[in-house]
Structure 1
Amino acid sequence: MDKKEQIIRRYFDSWITGEVSVLSETFAENAVYVESYGPLYRGLDAIIKWFDNWNEHGSVLEWKILRFIHSSETVVCEWFFKCVYDEKKEEFNGVSLISFDSKNKITQLREFYSKLPNYEPYR
């Protein structure tokens, strides 16, 4: 398995296990993370604070990677996400654009999501 794919899988799994130490191993100190609905976290400390705070309110039930697309130092990752946050269940599809530095640390991660269920308005 590709090294970058392993890093991404381990990071996604950390949301299910709550293993915060994975973040320090995965992200560069100056990493930027943009969530699918707008919040931006600048720097490893902010990413860790967000992770800890989010996990106080919710739990990730599933974060399944559907496929990877590689382009130089950037990986595109398509996924399905399911969680419970403040007692509300949510699930959606998404895509992440993930950039790495020469040490295989994530320098930027941008998420985009697609609301579920999908529907066909002209059918």
Structure 2
Amino acid sequence: MNEREKTIRLWFDMWLNQQDMGIDDIFTEDVIYTESWSPQYNNRKTVKHWFQEWNTRGKVVIWEIKQFFHKEDQTIVEWYFKNEMNNGSIEEFDGISLVEWTEDNKIKALKEFGCNRNTYNPYQEGDTPQSKQKKRIGFELSAYGGKI
């Protein structure tokens, strides 16, 4: 396992353990971190605050890495994510993170992309597409109590 993969695994483990095990060591001070549903944190101090505050409201129960792709100063990691919030809601989705690195292997940018796990064929019933989803994106609301 290379150093960049270890860093990403450490970040995921921090969430699974609800413990800061080195945020200062893996992110640049001016990191830009974008969640899959639009919140953006523009420095390490804000990433730390988000991490600590979010973990008072919920727990990441699964953040499983499926595969990595590396190219120059970038890594893509594909993953499956599941959390349980204190209000009883459960979220799960597939996703990828696009990670940009500094020369000394710190994360300078991370952008998440999420994919709803409830897939379907919109043409199963004929030539006109039919939607089976009640919501377009279902994984962003409960983490903030339905308020965004």
TM-score category by the smaller chain?
A: over 0.9
User: Which residue in the other structure is 1:81 paired with?
Assistant: 81
User: Which residue in the other structure is 1:44 paired with?
Assistant: 44
After superposition, the C-alpha distances for 1:23-48 in whole angstroms (9 at most, x for unaligned) are 11111111110000000001110000
Map 1:54-93 → 2, pairs under 5 A? 54-85=54-85, 86-93=87-94
Q: Which structure has the bigger radius of gyration? A: 2
User: Which residue in the other structure is 1:53 paired with?
Assistant: 53
Is structure 2 residue 23 aligned with structure 1 residue 35?
A: no
Give, as a single letter, the amino acid of the residue that structure 1 aligns with 2:94: N
Unmatched segments (≥5 aa) in structure 2: 125-148
After superposition, the C-alpha distances for 1:5-60 in whole angstroms (9 at most, x for unaligned) are 11101111110001213211111111110000000001110000000111010000
User: Which residue in the other structure is 1:14 paired with?
Assistant: 14
User: Which residue in the other structure is 1:111 paired with?
Assistant: 112
1:96 CA displacement: 0.5
Contact 1:36 1:113 in 2 (8 A): yes
Give, as a single letter, the amino acid of the residue that structure 1 aligns with 2:106: K
After superposition, the C-alpha distances for 1:75-101 in whole angstroms (9 at most, x for unaligned) are 001100000123210100001000110
Give, as a single letter, the amino acid of the residue that structure 1 aligns with 2:122: P
Percent of pairs with identical residues: 35
| Runs ≥4 residues deviating over 6 A | none
How many pairs were matched up? 123
Give, as a single letter, the amino acid of the residue that structure 1 aligns with 2:56: E
Give, as a single letter, the amino acid of the residue that structure 2 aligns with 1:27: F
- The structure with more strand, counted as a fraction of residues: 1
RMSD: 0.9
Shifted more, 83-92 versus 59-68: the winner is 83-92
- In the alignment, the residues of structure 2 paired with residue 120 and residue 14 of structure 1 have an alpha-carbon distance, to the nearest angstrom, of 36
- The structure with more helix, counted as a fraction of residues: 1
User: Which residue in the other structure is 1:3 paired with?
Assistant: 3
Give, as a single letter, the amino acid of the residue that structure 1 aligns with 2:53: N
- In the alignment, the residues of structure 2 paired with residue 105 and residue 57 of structure 1 have an alpha-carbon distance, to the nearest angstrom, of 28
- In the alignment, the residues of structure 1 paired with residue 3 and residue 123 of structure 2 have an alpha-carbon distance, to the nearest angstrom, of 43
Q: What is the SS of the residue equivalent to 2:22? A: helix
Give, as a single letter, the amino acid of the residue that structure 1 aligns with 2:111: R
- In the alignment, the residues of structure 1 paired with residue 80 and residue 115 of structure 2 have an alpha-carbon distance, to the nearest angstrom, of 10
